[in-house]
Amino acid sequence: MKILIIFLFGITLITCTNTDDAIEFSCYKDENRKVIATFNDVKGTIIGPSINSCQTLFTIKDESNEYTLAYGPCNLDEKFKVDGLDVVFSGYLFETFELEDICALPFELTKIDKLIELK
């Protein structure tokens, strides 16, 4: 009986975890930013650096237009840094701070693929 109780207690400890603790962020872990939204398989377009958008980084414009600013993915792979490239992406949108000057919302990609539309 003691072995069964110890076993059940161990299983309970393993399975009862906070989901936020299970997420391993790489970009903003030292900045104490909170995740404010999670995106799954959202269509978007890569926007290259320009005077009309962010001048120093590639961004992703969400086609749902839920947010007015584009997302600034901290971990965008070089092969996706193509202006006008249509993509499907997933990831985490992080909060911004009150006096922070940004051109794109802090975002960490968990998945990105080129959008292939059938014609």
Q: What is the pLDDT of residue 33?
A: 92
Alpha carbons 108 and 73: distance in angstroms, whole number: 5
Residue 32 has pLDDT above 90, yes or no: no
| pTM exceeds 0.85, yes or no | no
Instruction: Count Cβ atoms within 10 A of the Cβ of residue 25 and give its class: 0-12 exposed, 13-18 middle, 19 or more buried.
Output: middle
Give residue 9's pLDDT: 40
pLDDT of residue 35: 94
CA distance linking residue 70 with residue 34, whole number of Å? 18
pLDDT of 62 > 80? The answer is yes
- Is the pLDDT score of 22 beyond 70? no
- Worst-scoring range by mean pLDDT, 22-26, 73-77, 80-84? 22-26
At 24, is the pLDDT very low, low, confident or very high (cuts 50, 70, 90)?
low
Residue 67 has pLDDT above 80, yes or no: no
Of 108, 77, 114, the residue nearest 93 (C-alpha): 108
Q: What rounded mean pLDDT belongs to the chain?
A: 80
- Average confidence (pLDDT) over 10-28: 51
